[in-house]
C-alpha cells in the first residue's frame, strides 16, 4: 500500500509579551519546561514517537498514533453522527473515504468525553481511561508479563500490537485478534497461535447479530451466520492463505502495491472491497453470497429480494444508495429515499406523506414492534405518521411499526403472504414555481379585469345605439 504524507511536528508555543528577567530565572524556566517535556505523560511522548507507546505513556483526546509508513492512524473516533467515541484505525491517505476499523471491544468501551479520554500503557497492558476512571484493559497472552518491558506499536499493516521490547516476535496482545466487522490484509480468521485467540468477524445493528468464522472441516471454508441462520462458503485461493493445518486463514495482501483492500462483513454478505480512485467508491472484488436467495438481509436497508430470481431491487419510492456497487453484486449498502418525508423537510413538501402497499411478502420485515394502543388501520397509520422516524406499519396481527430501517424483505413464492405499508415522501415545494403561479394569477387577473371593463364599455356603447334607434 503506497502512500505519502506530510507531518508537521508538534511544537509547544508560548503566548504573551516577552518579559526580561535575570539569567538565573531564565535558566530555571528552561529547566522547568524541560521537566514538563520529559514528564508530561502521553501528551508529549506520543508526539515524539508517533507509532509507539512506552510504559507510562499514552495518547489523549483527539491525538493519534501514526504507523511508520504513514498509512494508518489509531485514535478515538466517532461513527457517523453518534456522540460516542471508540478506539479504531483509519487509512490516512483516503481522508473522508476511509472506513474505521473498530476494535471489537468498542461495544464495551464507550467514551463520551473526548478531551478526558486516554489510551495508556502500564506494565504489559493497554488501558482506556476517561476522566481518570478505567474503562478497559487489554489481556496478556502466553506466559504472562515480558521480561524487559513492553511497548505498544501501530504496525504498517494497521495492527496495534503490545510486544516485548527485547523480543519483538513475542506478542502479548494485538488488535487484529479483536476485529469488528472488517479485516485488513495481514489479519487472520481462526486461531492465532501467537496469542491463542480464536478470531472471527462480528456484525451488530440494533438487535441483529451476525458472525463470520473459519470452518476447519473444509479447505478455505467459512460459516456466515446472520439472525441465527448459517450459510457456508469458501474463500478463493488468491484471496486467503491457509495456515496451521487449516485452523486459520490469512487475508492476503492486494495483488498490486498501490491497491487498498479490506474484508467487510455487513448484514448478510461478506465482501472483499477495493478502493477505486476513479469513482471514489469501494468496489467489490468478491462477494458471498452473490444473490439474496439465502437471506433478504443481503439487499440492505429498504432493499427487496425477489425470491425466484434471487435478485435485489429497491422498494418503490427508493433508489440504490450506490449504483456502482449494486452493478457488481454488492447490495448491502441498500436503498435511499427518493423524496423526503414532510416532517424531515419541515412540512415544505407538496403534500403530506402517503403509504404504498407492499404485499406477497415472505413474512414481515425484521425488528418490528407492537403498538397495542392502535386497534384499527386508521389508528396504526396515524401512530406511524406521528413519529418522523416511523417508516412502515402493518396490521396483519395487530398494529406493528418499523422505525428508521426496513431489513429482510423477500417475496414469497406461495402463500401465506404478508403485507406492510411503506411510508413515502413528496416533492419539495418549488419557491420559483410558487412565484410563477402568483405572477400568472396576477396577469390573468389583470387581463380579466381589463376585459371586464372593456365589455362594460362596449355594452354601454351598444345600449346607447339601441336607445337611439328606438328613439328614431
Q: What is the DSSP string of 197-229?
A: EEE-EEEEETTEEEEEEEETTSTTEEEEEETTE
- Nearest in space to 91 (alpha carbons), one of 265, 287, 259, 332: 259
pLDDT of residue 421: 98
Grid cell 430501517 in the structure block, residue: 405
Cell 516476535 locates to 169
CB 93 within 8 A of CB 87: no
CA distance linking residue 267 with residue 136, whole number of Å: 28
Distance CA 422, CA 436 (A): 34
Domains of the chain: 1-6+33-178 (2.90.10.10)
- Nearest C-alpha neighbor of 101 from the set 110, 90, 93, 85: 90
Q: Is the pLDDT of residue 330 over 90?
A: yes
At 277, list the grid cell.
480512485
- Would you give the DSSP letter of residue 427? P
Residue with cell 417508516: 391
Cell of 28: 530555571
CA distances (Å), origin 9, targets 50, 155, 308: 10, 20, 60
Grid cell digits, residue 351 = 403534500
87 burial level (CB within 10 Å; 0-12, 13-18, 19+): buried
Share of the chain above pLDDT 70, in %: 78
Q: Which residues contact 426 (CB under 8 A, 6 or more apart)?
A: 339, 340, 342, 349, 350, 351, 352, 353, 354
* Strands across the sheet containing 229-234: 201-205, 208-215, 221-226, 229-234
Q: Reply yes or no on whether the pLDDT at 445 is more than 70.
A: no
Instruction: Encode pLDDT of 105-135 as tens digits.
Output: 666 688 999 999 999 999 999 999 999 999 9
pTM: predicted TM-score of the whole model, two decimal places: 0.77
pLDDT of the residue at 109: 82
SS3 391: strand
Residue 18's SS3 state is coil
DSSP label at 443?
A: H
Given a cut of 70, whether residue 142 has pLDDT beyond it is no
C-alpha grid cell, residue 147: 521480561
d(CA 452, CA 278): 65
Res 18 pLDDT > 70: no
**Whether the predicted pLDDT of 13 surpasses 60:** no
Q: What is the number of residues in the chain?
A: 472
Cα(18)–Cα(4) distance, integer angstroms: 39
pLDDT digits (tens, 9 = 90+) for 400-439: 999 999 999 999 988 999 999 999 998 887 654 332 233 3
The residue-averaged pLDDT of 227-238 equals: 94
CB 1 within 8 A of CB 257: yes
pLDDT for residue 150 is more than 50: yes
Q: CB–CB of 318/426 below 8 Å?
A: no
Average pLDDT, the chain: 81
Alpha-carbon distances, residue 429 vs 207, 255, 432, 433 (angstroms): 38, 51, 9, 8
pLDDT of residue 144: 61
Those residues with Cβ within 8 angstroms of residue 204's Cβ, 6 or more apart along the chain or in another chain:
107, 210
Closest by CA position to 174, among listed 190, 154, 191, 156: 154
Report the pLDDT averaged over residues 167-194: 94
Start-to-end CA span in the chain (Å): 109
| Of the candidate ranges 21-25, 75-79, 252-256, the one whose mean pLDDT is the lowest | 21-25
pLDDT at 462: 42
Residue with cell 495482501: 253
* Mean pLDDT value of segment 361-370: 94
Q: How far is residue 132 from each of residues 60, 117, 127, 379, 457, measured CA to CA in Å? A: 12, 8, 11, 51, 92
Amino acid at each position: 500500500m503506497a502512500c505519502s504524507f506530510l507531518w508537521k511536528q508538534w511544537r509547544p508555543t508560548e503566548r504573551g509579551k516577552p518579559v526580561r528577567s535575570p539569567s538565573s530565572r531564565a535558566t530555571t524556566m528552561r529547566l522547568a519546561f524541560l521537566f514538563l517535556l520529559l514528564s508530561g505523560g502521553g501528551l508529549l511522548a506520543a508526539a515524539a514517537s508517533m507509532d509507539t507507546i512506552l510504559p507510562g505513556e499514552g495518547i489523549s483526546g483527539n491525538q493519534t498514533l501514526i504507523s511508520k509508513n504513514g498509512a494508518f492512524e489509531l485514535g478515538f473516533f466517532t461513527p457517523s453522527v453518534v456522540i460516542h467515541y471508540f478506539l479504531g484505525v483509519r487509512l490516512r491517505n483516503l481522508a473522508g473515504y476511509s472506513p474505521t476499523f473498530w476494535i471489537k471491544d468498542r461495544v464495551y468501551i464507550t467514551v463520551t468525553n473526548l478531551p478526558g479520554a486516554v489510551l495508556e500503557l502500564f506494565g504489559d497492558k493497554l488501558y482506556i481511561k476517561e476522566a481518570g476512571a478505567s474503562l478497559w484493559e487489554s489481556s496478556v497472552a502466553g506466559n504472562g508479563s515480558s521480561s524487559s518491558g513492553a511497548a505498544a506499536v501501530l504496525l504498517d499493516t494497521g495492527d496495534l500490537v503490545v510486544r516485548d521490547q527485547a523480543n519483538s516476535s513475542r506478542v502479548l496482545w494485538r488488535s487484529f485478534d479483536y476485529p469488528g466487522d472488517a479485516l485488513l490484509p495481514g489479519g487472520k480468521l481462526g486461531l492465532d497461535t501467537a496469542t491463542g485467540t480464536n478470531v472471527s468477524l462480528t456484525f451488530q445493528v440494533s438487535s441483529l447479530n451476525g458472525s463470520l468464522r473459519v470452518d476447519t472441516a473444509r479447505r478455505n471454508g467459512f460459516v456466515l451466520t446472520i439472525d441465527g441462520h448459517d450459510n457456508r462458503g469458501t474463500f478463493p485461493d488468491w484471496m486467503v492463505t491457509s495456515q496451521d493445518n487449516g485452523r486459520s486463514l490469512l487475508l492476503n495482501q492486494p495483488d498490486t502495491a498501490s491497491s487498498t483492500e479490506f474484508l467487510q462483513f455487513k448484514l448478510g454478505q461478506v465482501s472483499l472491497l477495493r478502493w477505486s480512485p476513479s469513482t471514489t467508491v469501494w468496489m467489490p472484488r468478491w462477494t458471498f453470497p452473490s444473490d439474496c436467495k439465502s437471506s433478504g438481509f443481503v439487499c440492505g436497508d429498504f432493499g427487496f429480494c425477489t425470491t425466484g430470481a434471487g435478485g435485489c431491487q429497491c422498494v418503490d419510492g427508493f433508489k440504490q444508495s450506490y449504483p456502482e456497487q449494486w452493478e457488481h453484486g454488492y447490495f448491502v449498502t441498500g436503498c435511499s429515499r427518493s423524496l423526503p418525508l414532510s416532517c424531515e423537510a419541515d412540512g415544505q413538501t407538496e403534500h403530506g406523506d402517503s403509504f404504498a402497499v407492499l404485499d406477497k411478502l415472505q413474512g414481515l420485515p425484521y425488528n418490528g414492534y407492537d403498538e397495542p394502543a392502535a386497534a384499527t388501520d386508521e389508528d396504526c397509520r396515524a401512530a406511524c405518521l406521528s413519529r418522523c422516524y416511523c417508516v412502515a406499519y402493518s396490521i396483519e396481527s395487530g398494529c406493528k411499526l418499523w422505525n428508521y430501517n426496513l431489513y429482510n424483505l423477500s417475496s414469497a413464492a406461495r402463500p401465506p403472504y404478508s403485507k406492510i405499508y411503506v411510508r413515502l415522501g413528496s416533492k419539495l415545494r418549488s419557491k420559483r414555481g410558487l412565484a410563477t403561479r402568483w405572477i400568472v394569477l396576477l396577469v390573468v387577473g389583470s387581463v380579466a379585469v381589463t376585459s371586464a371593463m372593456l365589455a362594460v364599455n362596449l355594452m354601454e356603447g351598444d345600449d346607447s345605439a339601441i336607445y337611439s334607434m328606438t328613439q328614431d
